[in-house]
C-alpha cells in the first residue's frame, strides 16, 4: 500500500510537470534549381554548372525546442538543431569547434539550455553569437543566397557564427531597445607553452519599433595565444515606408598584419501584393592594400522575388552577380540564377 501511494505521488508530480512543459519538433526544408557561373577573365576559363542545391534562402534544418514553466515568470528552455542537405539527404555535417578540431556533431547548428524571464534570457551551449543575431538584420533579397551581400561581404563567410562552449545573455526589450552579449570559451590553453586560450566575444544593440530598425553588432575572435584578434563590426538600418522597405548595412573587418575590409549594402524590398514581394540590392566590399598585397575590390547586385503559397510554404527565384578585381590579377566574375521552394514545419 505504501509503495502504491509513493508511485501515485510520483505519477501525479510527473503529470503536473508535463502539463507545464512543451516540446516542439520543427524545421525548414529549402531547395533550389539553378545555374552558377564563374569566369576568371582568362580566355577559355569560364565554367557553368546546372545545380540542385539545398538552402537558397535558409539552410535546411530540423530540431527540437522545449520550454518548461517554472512559475513566477521563470522558464527553462532548450534547443537542439541539426542542419542537413536536402539535395543529398546528408546530415551530421562537419562543424569546427572554435579553438579545437573539426568534429561531426549530432546537433551542429544549435545545442543549448537556459532560462528566460523578466530579467531576459540566458543560453548555455552551442548557440549563435550576439553579433550573428543581428549580422544580416537589414540584408535585402530576403537575406538569401541571391543577395549581393552573400558573396561580396568578407564578413559574411569569415566570422564564427555558432562557436561551441558559449554563454549568451539577452536583455528584455525596453521601449524598443534591447541588447545581447556572448562569450565562447576556447578551452584550448596550451599548458606546455603557457599560451592563453582563444575566445569569441560579441555584443549587439538593437532598436526596433514601428517602421524603424537599427542594429549594431561587434565581435572579436582570438586564436590560442594570438593577440591579433580579428574584429567584425556591422551597423544595419531599415525603414518600412509601407509601399517599400529601405535596407542599409555597413561593415568593417580588421586584423593586425591583414588588410582591413570596408563593406556596404543598399537594398529595397517591395510588397507588390499580400502574396508577392520583390527585393533588390547592391553591395560593395574593399580590402585595403597592405605591404606588397594590392587592394581587392568586390561589387555585386542581387534581385529576387518570393510568392507565398501558404503560411508555411513559398516559392522564390532570382539572379545574383558579382565581380572581384585586384591589380595584376585576372578579374573574377561569378553569378547565380535560381528558382526554389521554402517550406517550414
Q: What is the pLDDT of residue 192?
A: 63
pTM over 0.85, yes/no: yes
Share above pLDDT 70 across residues of the chain, in percent, rounded to a whole number:
88
pLDDT exceeds 80 at position 5: no
* CA end-to-end span of the chain: 47
Q: Is residue 308 part of a domain?
A: no
Q: Is residue 183 part of a domain?
A: yes
Q: What is the pLDDT of residue 198?
A: 87
Q: What is the pLDDT of residue 291?
A: 81
Where in the sequence is the domain holding 265, given as residue range(s)? 59-294
Quick: pLDDT tens for 119-136. 999 999 999 999 999 999
Write the DSSP string, 102-163: EEE-TTSSEEEEEEEETTEEEEEEE---TTHHHHTTT-TGGGSTTSHHHHH-HHHHHS-SS-
Report the chain's mean pLDDT, rounded to a whole number: 89
Q: Is residue 331 part of a domain?
A: no
Mean pLDDT on 218-245: 92
Q: What is the pLDDT of residue 34?
A: 96
Which of the two residues, 125 and 105, has the higher pLDDT score?
125
Q: Name the strand (E) or helix (H) holding 42.
A: none
Q: What is the pLDDT of residue 16?
A: 45
C-alpha 231/C-alpha 256 separation (Å) is: 10
Q: Is residue 75 part of a domain?
A: yes
Q: Is residue 264 part of a domain?
A: yes
Alpha helices, H only, 45-201: 132-135, 148-152, 154-158
Q: Is residue 213 part of a domain?
A: yes
Query: Positive or negative, the Cα torsion across 221, 224, 227, 228?
Result: negative
The candidate with the shortest Cα–Cα distance to 203, out of 220, 190, 224, 187, is: 220
Q: Is residue 67 part of a domain?
A: yes
Domains held by the chain: number = 1
CATH number at residue 282: 2.40.160.10
Quick: pLDDT tens for 50-104. 999 999 999 999 999 999 999 999 999 999 999 999 999 988 654 544 544 445 6
pLDDT exceeds 90 at position 327: no
Q: What is the pLDDT of residue 273?
A: 97
When pLDDT is cut at 50, 70 and 90, the band that residue 11 belongs to is very low
Q: Is residue 126 part of a domain?
A: yes
Mean pLDDT on 215-230: 87
Q: Do residues 212 and 241 make contact, with C-beta atoms less than 8 angstroms apart?
A: no
Query: Positive or negative, the Cα torsion across 46, 48, 53, 56?
Result: positive
Amino acid at each position: 500500500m505504501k509503495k502504491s501511494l509513493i508511485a501515485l505521488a510520483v505519477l501525479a508530480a510527473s503529470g503536473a510537470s508535463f502539463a507545464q512543459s512543451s516540446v516542439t519538433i520543427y524545421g525548414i526544408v529549402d531547395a533550389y534549381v539553378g545555374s552558377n557561373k564563374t569566369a576568371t577573365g582568362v580566355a577559355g576559363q569560364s565554367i557553368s554548372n546546372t545545380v540542385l542545391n539545398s538552402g537558397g534562402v535558409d539552410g535546411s534544418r530540423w530540431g527540437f525546442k522545449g520550454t518548461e514553466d517554472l512559475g513566477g515568470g521563470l522558464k527553462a528552455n532548450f534547443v537542439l538543431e541539426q542542419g542537413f542537405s536536402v539535395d543529398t539527404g546528408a546530415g551530421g555535417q562537419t562543424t569546427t569547434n572554435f579553438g579545437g578540431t573539426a568534429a561531426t556533431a549530432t546537433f551542429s547548428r544549435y545545442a543549448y539550455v537556459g532560462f528566460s524571464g523578466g530579467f531576459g534570457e540566458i543560453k548555455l551551449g552551442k548557440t549563435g553569437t550576439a553579433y550573428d543575431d543581428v549580422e544580416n538584420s537589414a540584408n535585402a533579397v530576403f537575406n538569401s543566397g541571391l543577395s549581393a551581400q552573400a558573396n561580396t561581404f568578407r564578413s559574411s563567410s569569415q566570422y564564427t557564427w555558432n562557436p561551441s562552449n558559449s554563454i549568451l545573455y539577452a536583455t528584455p526589450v525596453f521601449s524598443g531597445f534591447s541588447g545581447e552579449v556572448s562569450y565562447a570559451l576556447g578551452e584550448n590553453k596550451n599548458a606546455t607553452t603557457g599560451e592563453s586560450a582563444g575566445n569569441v566575444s560579441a555584443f549587439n544593440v538593437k532598436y526596433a519599433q514601428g517602421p524603424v530598425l537599427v542594429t549594431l553588432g561587434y565581435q572579436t575572435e582570438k586564436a590560442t595565444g594570438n593577440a591579433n584578434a580579428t574584429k567584425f563590426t556591422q551597423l544595419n538600418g531599415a525603414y518600412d515606408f509601407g509601399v517599400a522597405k529601405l535596407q542599409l548595412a555597413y561593415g568593417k573587418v580588421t586584423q593586425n598584419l591583414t588588410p582591413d575590409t570596408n563593406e556596404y549594402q543598399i537594398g529595397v524590398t517591395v510588397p507588390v501584393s499580400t502574396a508577392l514581394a520583390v527585393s533588390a540590392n547592391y553591395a560593395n566590399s574593399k580590402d585595403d592594400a597592405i605591404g606588397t598585397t594590392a587592394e581587392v575590390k568586390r561589387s555585386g547586385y542581387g534581385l529576387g522575388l518570393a510568392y507565398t503559397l501558404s503560411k508555411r510554404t513559398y516559392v522564390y527565384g532570382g539572379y545574383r552577380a558579382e565581380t572581384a578585381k585586384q591589380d595584376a590579377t585576372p578579374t573574377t566574375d561569378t553569378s547565380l540564377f535560381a528558382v526554389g521552394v521554402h517550406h517550414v514545419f
